[in-house]
Amino acid sequence: MKTKLKLTLAFVAIFIFGCSVNAQTYTASTKSSIPIEMLLPQGKSKALILSFDDGNIADRHLVKLMNEYGLIGTFHLNSNKLGTKDYLTKEEIKNLYKGHEVSGHSANHPSLPSLSKVDVIYEVLEDRRELERLISYPVRGMSYPFGNTSDLVIEAISGLGIEYARTVGDTYNFNMPTEFLKWQPSIHLFGKTNYIPNDTANDRKELGQFYQLTSEFLNSKSLALFYVWGHSWEYEGPGNKWAEVEKFFKMISNNPEIYYTTQIDLVDYINAFNNLRFSVDKTMVTNPASITVYVKMDGKAFAIEAGSTTNLKQSE
C-alpha cells in the first residue's frame, strides 16, 4: 500500500511540475512572438515635423507665426547666401531660430549630383562649419538643394557628421523614415500654388489635397509622422498664402496627441528605440540612451527610462 501511495504521489508531482513547466514555456514563447512597437515621447503615436529651406527674409514672419502657435521647425540654411539680397543676415539667425533647429542646405545651393566628390564635401562641411560658428551648436543634418541626391552624393556625405538628409519627393503618407539620408517628406506646404500663381482652380485642388492629408493625419490611429516642408518665400507675392499658412498652424497646433519635434530630435529618438537591449524572452529591456523611450507590446504602453533596465512583466 505504502509503495503504491508513493508512486501515486510521484506521478501527481510529475504531473503538476510538468504542467507548470509547460505553462511557463507557453507564456514565454507567446510573449516572445508579440512584436515590440515604437511609441513616440510621452507614449504618443503622432509626430509633426515642419521643415523650411533657404533662410529667406520671409522666415522672419514664418518663425513669428510658428512661435505664436507654439510650433517647432527645422530650418535648412545656405551659409554663403546669408547676408546677400533677400536672405537673412548672419547676425540674426541665432536669435531668430531660438528653440528651433538650424540645419544644413549646402554652402552655395548647387545641385550636388552635378559636382565632383571633393566639391560635395566642401559644400556640406563649409556649410556646417559656418552655421556652427553662428549658432554655437553642432549642425547634424541637412536637406538637399533642389531635393537632388545620388548614390555618390550619399557616399560623399556619409562620413561628414550628417545624420539625416531630406529630399523633396513627397510620399503623401505618414511613414517613419527607413533611410535617414534618403528621407522623403509627406507633403509640400502649398508649393504648387506658388509656381502656378493666380490660378484659383489649381489653388483649390492643391489646398484641398493638403487639408485632406492634414485631416487624415489628425484622425490617424496608428504610428504616424506628418512631415511638411516648404519655403517661406512661397507664401509671399501675388498669390499670398500667409492666411492659409496660419489656418494650417491653427489646425495642427496645441494638440495633446501630437509630438512636436525638430528633425534631429526624432532621429535621436528613433536611434534610442533601435538601441534598446531586450532579453531573449522580452521580459527585460535596457535603455542605454539619455532619453526615455516608449514602447507598446500586446496593446500595453511601457516607458523605458533613460539609462535603466525595466522589467516589462512587473510593469504589466
Contact residues: Zn ion, CB under 5 A? 53-54
> How many Å apart are CA 113 and CA 116, to the nearest integer?
8
Which residue, 70 or 83, has its beta carbon nearer to Zn ion?
Answer: 83
Q: Which residues lie closer than 8 Å to 140 by C-beta, 6 or more apart?
A: 103, 161, 162, 163, 164, 264, 267
What is the closest distance, in whole angstroms, from the C-beta atom of residue 131 to Zn ion in the complex?
A: 14
Q: Can you list the alpha helix ranges (DSSP code H) found in 147-275?
A: 151-157, 191-195, 200-219, 242-252, 263-274
Which residue, 54 or 265, has its beta carbon nearer to Zn ion?
Answer: 54
Which residue, 229 or 302, has its beta carbon nearer to Zn ion?
Answer: 229
Q: Which residues lie closer than 8 Å to 61 by C-beta, 6 or more apart?
A: 232, 242
The residues with which 310 forms a beta bridge, in sequence order, are: 285
What is the closest distance, in whole angstroms, from the C-beta atom of residue 164 to Zn ion in the complex?
A: 16
Burial of 224 (0-12, 13-18, 19+ CB in 10 A): buried
What is the closest distance, in whole angstroms, from the C-beta atom of residue 58 to Zn ion in the complex?
A: 13
Read off the amino acid at residue 166. R
Which residue, 45 or 51, has its beta carbon nearer to Zn ion?
Answer: 51
What is the closest distance, in whole angstroms, from the C-beta atom of residue 305 to Zn ion in the complex?
A: 40
- CB-CB neighbours of 165 under 10 Å: 26
Task: Please name which of 251, 270, 252, 310 lies closest in space to residue 286, comparing C-alpha atoms.
Answer: 310
The residues with which 50 forms a beta bridge, in sequence order, are: 73, 228
Which residue, 41 or 147, has its beta carbon nearer to Zn ion?
Answer: 147
The residues with which 303 forms a beta bridge, in sequence order, are: 294
What is the closest distance, in whole angstroms, from the C-beta atom of residue 109 to Zn ion in the complex?
A: 6
What is the closest distance, in whole angstroms, from the C-beta atom of residue 53 to Zn ion in the complex?
A: 4
Q: Which residues lie closer than 8 Å to 64 by C-beta, 6 or more apart?
A: none
> How many Å apart are CA 63 and CA 68, to the nearest integer?
8
Which residue, 46 or 81, has its beta carbon nearer to Zn ion?
Answer: 81
User: Which grid coordinates are listed for 232?
Assistant: 517661406
Which residue, 109 or 296, has its beta carbon nearer to Zn ion?
Answer: 109
Q: CB-side exposure of 195: number of CA atoms within 13 Å? A: 8
> How many Å apart are CA 315 and CA 102, to the nearest integer?
39
> How many Å apart are CA 118 and CA 139, to the nearest integer?
20
Which residue, 185 or 287, has its beta carbon nearer to Zn ion?
Answer: 185
Residue of minimal CB distance from Zn ion?
A: 53
Which residue, 97 or 273, has its beta carbon nearer to Zn ion?
Answer: 97
What is the closest distance, in whole angstroms, from the C-beta atom of residue 144 to Zn ion in the complex?
A: 9
> How many Å apart are CA 157 and CA 161, to the nearest integer?
8
What is the closest distance, in whole angstroms, from the C-beta atom of residue 233 to Zn ion in the complex?
A: 10
What is the closest distance, in whole angstroms, from the C-beta atom of residue 147 to Zn ion in the complex?
A: 8
